[in-house]
Amino acid sequence: MTSTSPVSYKLAIPENDLQALKSKLAATRFPDELEGVQWDYGVPLADMKRLVRYWQDGYDWRRHETHINETFPQFTIDIEVDGFGVLNIHHVHQRSKNEHAIPLLFSHGWPGHFMEAAKIIPLLTNPPSGAPAFHVVAWSLPGFGFSDAPKKPGFNMAKMAEAGHKLMLALGYSEYVVQGGDWGSSISRQVARLYGGKHCKAVHVNMLSMAPIQPSKNPLLWLQHISTPFSEEEKRMVARTNMFRDKGLGYFHEQSSQPQTLSYGLADSPVGLLAWVYEKLHNWTDNYPFTDDEILDWISVYWFSKAGPGASLRIYYENLRTNPLENGRHEPIYSVPIGFSIFPQELVYVSKANRLLVGNLVYESSHSAGGHFAAFERPEDLVGDLREFHGIGGKAYGVVKGLTGYADD
């Protein structure tokens, strides 16, 4: 059903799809495994066997589906993206009771999804007194979750930003703020680059991908960067960055170059998809104690996604085939205030000197725990930062005209 106004939506995976999944799970053929390797070679076999058995016999998707439907108001809406026609965009839209709440667009990444916002939505929309309130829009990116996928090549960061921006306009938010990690961070920054000042009024991210400082371009900054010693904490984060670069980028290279080849196994094999995503849930978080239900809830969004799991991989290809240094994705942003929350187990550490190239980076907050999926792992920390950034006395206080987040405007 196409519509330029939001249409109420409830997840309702067809019973046939659930049965098909069960048939596949029953037919799972497992690989062998070397002795005693634990996580060295990838996801351990014992974990996969346990999860597949549970997925087949005990796990209840309908429980999770019902929970999402009852807890989070979901909608779909048609958004026209230049050159790509109409994409039907699925999203959660939770308004605060506070009419002056700040409209905020939360963008997930890969292998994230719209329900990464599940824990922060109630905190943002229903704060204690003294803290600002937000109206939260948590969308499924095009190609992810229950949104349409683009059908043609070239749906790059600018297009993602266009879709997100037009979504907010279509929901009646001419001015809004953005938040994201992973691809959501890049999308949020691109929204600020393209629509900052007039529409997008502030950016908050929990991850930064930056070009390294080039001595030829920024000689003084480069000197500063190489001559400033790292703290113990920074050294740990740099070590993690190096590990990620050396051992953690296989998925990144394959998805940037041959996403279609990879997509057959992920679309066809539940355990294949489970392993591919679960590895990131394990390696990218700060020892987050995922329950089996949480893992399967998460992977099920990919398994049952509207366009299939393969479509989600293409965000890498569309954005990494051209050099970010040339496609503008690392240009500094000066039009709006930028806030950055630093979590110790994030994948990529950006030095203080390098952060000077972000642009108008006016708020930073460091934490002692938490990893890549900050909204899911450390919701109070992330929300605390957003409240500081956007609240009274914060660097992004009152950026949206008339919507400060407080009751008595």
Partner 1 sequence: MATSNTDQAFKISVSESQIHELKVKLDLIRFPDELEDAGWAYGSPLKDVQRLVAYWKSGYSWREHEKHINDTLPQFTKDISVDGFGTLNIHFVHQKSSVQNAIPLLFVHGWPGSFLEVTKILPLLTAASKQYPSFHVVALSLPGYGFSEAPKQKGFGLFQYAEVCNKLMIELGYTEYVAQGGDWGYYITRALGHKFSKNCRAVHSNMPRGSPPKFIHNPVLFLQHALVPYSEAEKAGFARSAWFLGPGFGYRQQQSTQPQTLGYSLSDSPAGLLAWIYEKLRNWTDDYRWTDDEILTWVSIYWFSRAGPAATTRIYYEVETAKERDIITKPINNIPLGFSYFPRELVVTPRSWARTLGNVVFESTHASGGHFAAHEKPTILVDDIRQMFGKGGPANHVIPHKSGFDHGLKAKL
Please list the active-site residues. 182, 316, 372
Q: Give yes or no for a contact between 103 and 134, defined as CB atoms under 8 angstroms apart.
A: yes
Residue closer to partner 1 by CB (options 121, 271) is 271
Subset of residues 35 to 64 that bind partner 1, contact rule: CB under 8 A = 35-37, 40-45, 48
**Of the listed pieces 62-70, 150-158, 164-172, 187-195, which binds partner 1 according to CB under 8 A?**
150-158
Please tell me whether residue 153 binds partner 1 under the rule CB under 8 A.
Answer: yes
Query: Which of 3, 4, 20, 83 touches partner 1 by CB under 8 A?
Result: 20
Site track for partner 1 across 246-285, x = CB under 8 A: xxxxxxxxxxxxxxxxxxxxxxxxxxxxxxx--x------
Contacts of partner 1 in 222-251 (CB under 8 A)? 246-251
Query: Any residues with CB less than 8 A from the CB of 294 and at least 6 apart, and which?
Result: none
Q: Which is nearer to partner 1, 107 or 256 (CB)?
A: 256
**Site track for partner 1 across 292-311, x = CB under 8 A:** ---------------xxxxx
Question: Which stretch in 31-39, 63-71, 202-210, 214-222 sits in contact with partner 1 by CB under 8 A?
Answer: 31-39
- Least Å distance between CB 156 and partner 1? 13
CB 126 within 8 A of CB 157: no
Stretch of 30-38, 65-73, 225-233, 369-377 lying at the interface with partner 1 (CB under 8 A): 30-38
Of the ranges 27-35, 67-75, 231-239, 381-389, which one interacts with partner 1 (CB under 8 A)?
27-35
The residue (of 233 and 268) whose beta carbon lies closer to partner 1 is 268
* Shortest Å distance, C-beta 50 to partner 1: 13
* Cis-peptide into 332, omega within 30 deg: no
Tell me which amino acid residue 243 is.
Answer: M
DSSP 84-113: TEEEEEEEEEE--SSTTPEEEEEE--SS--
CA atoms within 13 A on the CB side of 68: 27
Which of left, alpha, beta for 210 (phi over 0: left; psi -120 to 50: alpha)? beta
User: Cα–Cα distances in Å, from 319 out to 150, 155, 197, 251, 329?
Assistant: 14, 8, 24, 15, 9
326 touches partner 1 (CB under 8 A): no
Say if strands 176-180 and 333-342 run parallel, antiparallel, or are unpaired: unpaired
b/e 74-113 (16+ beta carbons within 10 angstroms → b): bbbbbbebeebeebbbbbbbbbbebebbbbbbbbbbbbbb
Q: For residue 28, give the nearest of 293, 265, 254 by alpha carbon.
A: 265
> Binding partner 1 by CB under 8 A: which of 24, 53, 119, 355?
24
111 in contact with partner 1 (CB under 8 A): no
Give the count of residues interacting with partner 1 (CB under 8 A): 66
* CA separation for the pair 51, 272 (Å, rounded): 12
Residue placing its CB nearer to partner 1 in the complex, 170 or 320: 320
The span from the CA of 125 to the CA of 141, in Å, is 21
Q: Which of 5, 12, 152, 393 binds partner 1 (CB under 8 A)?
A: 152
Cα–Cα distance for residue pair 277/295, rounded to 1 Å: 9
Whose Cβ is closer to partner 1: residue 53's or residue 355's?
A: 53
Distance between CA atoms of residues 372 and 85, nearest Å? 33
Binding site for partner 1 (CB under 8 A): 20, 23-24, 27-37, 40-45, 48, 149-153, 246-276, 279, 307-311, 314, 317, 321
